[in-house]
Amino acid sequence: METSTLPLSSSTRGKLISAGYTSLSSISSVSSTDLARDVNITEAEAFEILKMANHQVTGSSTSLINGARNAWDMLHEEEALPRITTSCSDLDKILGGGISCRDVTEIGGVPGIGKTQIGIQLSVNVQIPSEFGGLGGKAIYIDTEGSFMVERALQIAEACVEDMEEYTGYIHKHYKANQVQLKPKDILENIFYFRVCSYTEQIALVNHLDKFISENKDVKVVIVDSITFHFRQDFDDLAQRTRVLSEMALKFMKLAKKFSLAVVLLNQVTTKYTEGSFQLALALGDSWSHSCTNRVILYWNGDERYAYIDKSPSLPSASASYTVTSRGLRNSSSSSKRVKMM
């Protein structure tokens, strides 16, 4: 292993190499004071370099690797993962119960198919209290296009509260209908809304979310509507765009894992010419399509809206239909048909 692979600034690296420390084994045997004197850097810097070098070296030793966990333990964790319902049971079924927390899910589709509707529905459903099987968390809604209509969010919140009250009425027959503590205005209070007006703000906000969520630990879903908009028009250098997007995707993944929340990215659609004809594909290019863990595509099939699981590490490809009603997302009336599996 070479010292040139260590994450250091180029001048420090240059100094190390010109002083003769080209491989990691040469550093491991030297003390920090000696290194500092030889290379002409401060002792604190030398200490940092030694720490980095040792970290790399122990990774290749044959004893247990730092930070690894065995798959059996992870199984229990995966099964206990909470999921956010979409209020449409067919859709929940193909998603394995709902949108999973700790994962980045990308949802894309043509204009008017219901992406913003799903976004608003999820930001309301994440707040369903645990007595009703929900997460009781808060939502962050990052709006890049101005499509968040607060009147619609109120409609969906009211419908959600009504459904919960009806449910309490069925199950606890002796309870009165208005036992539900959560009111529509409270639901709106728990949606943190950010309006992003340029890609710089988008990147800045993603970087800042770490601090924001540390201060608001009960946020359980981050919805970005849509990630594409600013990146589609303002970037001239496409290679640069790809690099910046990959970094943003990594940050989202880290957020999802660190705080155990769900990240939902809504994407637009573009046409590309492949296999001899024009086909629809999600925007932002081929490199971006690798960045998200799960991918759901919304499309029209005849007169109905369908969702298709395009990419998932654990769910089979399947499609299910849903409708958008005045109360939000629901099963379509023809849902007596079974869910189609590939």
Partner 1 sequence: MANKLIGEMDLHKRISNIFAARNIITAKDALSMTEFELMELLDVGVNEIQSAVRLISQAASPPCLSARSLMEQKVENEYLSGHLPTHLKGLDSALCGGIPFGVLTELVGPPGIGKSQFCMKLALSASFPKAYGGLDGRVVYIDVESKFSSRRVIEMGLKSFPEVFHLKGMAQEMAGRILVLRPASLSDFTESIQELKESILQNQVKLLVIDSMTALLSGENKPGDQRHQQHQLGWHISFLKSLAEFARIPIVVTNQVRSQNRDETSQYSFQAKLKDGSQEHTRTYDSHLVAALGINWAHAVTIRLVLESKSGQRIIKVAKSPMSPPLAFPFHITSAGISLLSDEGTELKGPGINNIHARGHSEMINFNGDCS
**3-class secondary-structure state, position 195:** strand
Which whole-number Å values give the CA distances from 47 to 11, 43, 224, in the listed order?
17, 6, 41
Tell me how many degrees the CA angle 83-202-282 measures, rounded to the nearest 5: 65
Q: Is 165 in the site for partner 1 (CB under 8 A)?
A: no
User: In 3D, which of 265, 293, 267 has the Cα closest to residue 280?
Assistant: 267
The 105-144 contact track toward partner 1, x by CB under 8 A, reads -----xxx---xx--x--------------------x---
CB of 35 to partner 1, least distance (A): 16
Of 199 and 288, the one with the shorter C-beta distance to partner 1 is: 199
CB of 302 to partner 1, least distance (A): 4
CB of 175 to partner 1, least distance (A): 27
| Identity of the residue numbered 251 | K
DSSP 8-class letter at 85: -
Which whole-number Å values give the CA distances from 59 to 25, 30, 71, 261, in the listed order?
13, 19, 19, 29
The 25-64 contact track toward partner 1, x by CB under 8 A, reads -----------------------x----------------
Q: Is 196 in the site for partner 1 (CB under 8 A)?
A: yes
Q: Is 261 in the site for partner 1 (CB under 8 A)?
A: no
CA 124 from centroid of its chain's CA atoms:
17
CA pair distance 153, 211, nearest whole angstrom: 26
Q: Is 322 in the site for partner 1 (CB under 8 A)?
A: no
Q: Is 340 in the site for partner 1 (CB under 8 A)?
A: yes
Among 230, 255, 261, 328, binds partner 1 (CB under 8 A): 230
Site for partner 1 in 8-27 (CB under 8 A): 8-12
Among 271, 290, 314, 316, binds partner 1 (CB under 8 A): 271
Token digits of residue 193: 């809304």
Token digits of residue 88: 């449409």
Of 74 and 301, the one with the shorter C-beta distance to partner 1 is: 301
The partner residues of 277 in beta bridges, in order of sequence, read 274
How many amino acids of this chain bind partner 1 (CB under 8 A)?
87
CA pair distance 312, 32, nearest whole angstrom: 47
Span of 87-95, 172-180, 252-260, 277-285 interacting with partner 1 by CB under 8 A: 277-285
Among 151, 239, 286, 336, binds partner 1 (CB under 8 A): 151
Of 37 and 195, the one with the shorter C-beta distance to partner 1 is: 195
> What are the two backbone dihedrals, phi and then psi, of residue 55, each rounded to the nearest 5 degrees?
-60, -40
